[in-house]
Amino acid sequence: MRRLRRPSTGFLGIFLRTFVVDTHALVWFLARDPRLSEKAHTILRDPTVHLIIPTIVLAEIKYLSNKGRFAQTLDDVLRVINTDPRCLVYPIDLNVVRQAPPTLDIHDSLIVGTALAQPVAVDGILTCDEAITASGLVPVVW
């Protein structure tokens, strides 16, 4: 089944591109970490880009914060996301689970499943994850 691409109309209020954001990309962006690639940084700052945040990413952020590996709390991250109209927190629903590839670990699988579950093909996943990249299931931007 072919998935439709979103038209790049450029009208005010219409997002030109859509990306799913992986945990590392979001954490490193918020922490201003130099490990974030320049390309990912540019996309995350672009006001015309729609950013889809899989729920599993928020669960991972909560875990990392609790373990002291990320200074910001889940509430800190949610305050940023909730005030940014470009961001959409996407739930783990039955469609995501059905689209999730069984060949990846559960976290990566749900992130890829979120990308594949979108009604219009996403432009990519912002990730440096080698397993997601090697899967070739979705475009990866880093």
Chain segment 1-31, per-residue pLDDT in tens: 333 334 344 444 566 899 999 999 999 999 9
**DSSP string of 13-44, one letter each residue:** T--SEEEEE-HHHHHHHHTT-TTS-HHHHHHH
Q: Which residues pair with 138 in a beta bridge?
A: none
Domain ranges within the chain, ordered by starting residue:
17-137
Share of the chain above pLDDT 70, in %: 89
Rg (CA), the chain: 14
Q: Name the CATH architecture for the domain at 17-137.
A: 3-Layer(aba) Sandwich (3.40)
